[in-house]
């Protein structure tokens, strides 16, 4: 079985600053969010806004699986994950839990913000 190609575009993760220090994800701007609640063993499909999304994902009280075309990801409760995910994702939890998606604007899109405003 061939390995699927990686559709992740350039600049998905924040760039380094001029002195080479990493810029934390906390400085990127949220674009979209989704909050869901699932019963144990349930699965729900979530349609994210972009074809490829830089996402922070959090499950409050259950481990589970994020499934998407070409792969899956096992998550643990109480851990914030930063992931590059496709448009269509399914969430399955093992116990009752709330979960949260935040889609973040890529750092490359913030570089020129405000550059074209007239003074």
Q: What is the pLDDT of residue 104?
A: 87
Which residues are within 8 A (CB) of 2 and not within 5 positions of it... i.e. 6 or more apart?
none
Q: What is the pLDDT of residue 105?
A: 79
CATH number of the structural domain spanning residue 64:
2.60.120.10
| pTM listed for this prediction | 0.69
Q: What is the pLDDT of residue 119?
A: 45
Judge whether 72 lies within some domain. yes
Question: Does residue 36 contact residue 44 with C-beta atoms inside 8 Å?
Answer: yes
Q: What is the pLDDT of residue 24?
A: 56
What total number of domains does the chain contain? 1
Which residues are within 8 A (CB) of 109 and not within 5 positions of it... i.e. 6 or more apart?
none
Which residues are within 8 A (CB) of 77 and not within 5 positions of it... i.e. 6 or more apart?
59, 60, 61, 62, 63, 97
Judge whether 46 lies within some domain. yes
Provide the domain limits for residue 82. 28-107
Q: What is the pLDDT of residue 1?
A: 46
Judge whether 52 lies within some domain. yes
Q: What is the pLDDT of residue 118?
A: 47
Structure tokens of 56? 């922070």
Q: Show the low-confidence residues of the chain (pLDDT under 70).
A: 1-27, 106-119
Strands 43-59 and 64-68: unpaired
Question: Does residue 42 contact residue 93 with C-beta atoms inside 8 Å?
Answer: yes
Cα 5 to Cα 1, 8, 45, 65, 70, distances in angstroms: 12, 9, 23, 21, 9
Alpha-carbon span 116 to 119, nearest angstrom: 9
């Amino acid at each position: 079985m061939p390995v699927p190609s990686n559709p992740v575009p350039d600049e998905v993760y924040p760039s380094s600053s001029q002195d080479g220090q990493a810029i934390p994800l906390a400085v990127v701007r949220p674009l979209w969010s989704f909050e869901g609640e699932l019963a144990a063993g349930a699965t729900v499909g979530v349609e994210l806004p972009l074809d490829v999304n830089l996402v922070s994902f959090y499950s409050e009280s259950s481990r589970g699986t994020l499934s998407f075309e070409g792969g899956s990801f096992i998550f643990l409760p109480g851990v914030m994950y930063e992931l590059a995910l496709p448009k269509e994702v399914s969430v399955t939890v093992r116990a009752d839990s709330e979960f949260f998606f935040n889609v973040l604007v890529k750092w490359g899109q913030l570089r020129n913000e405000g550059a074209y405003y007239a003074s």
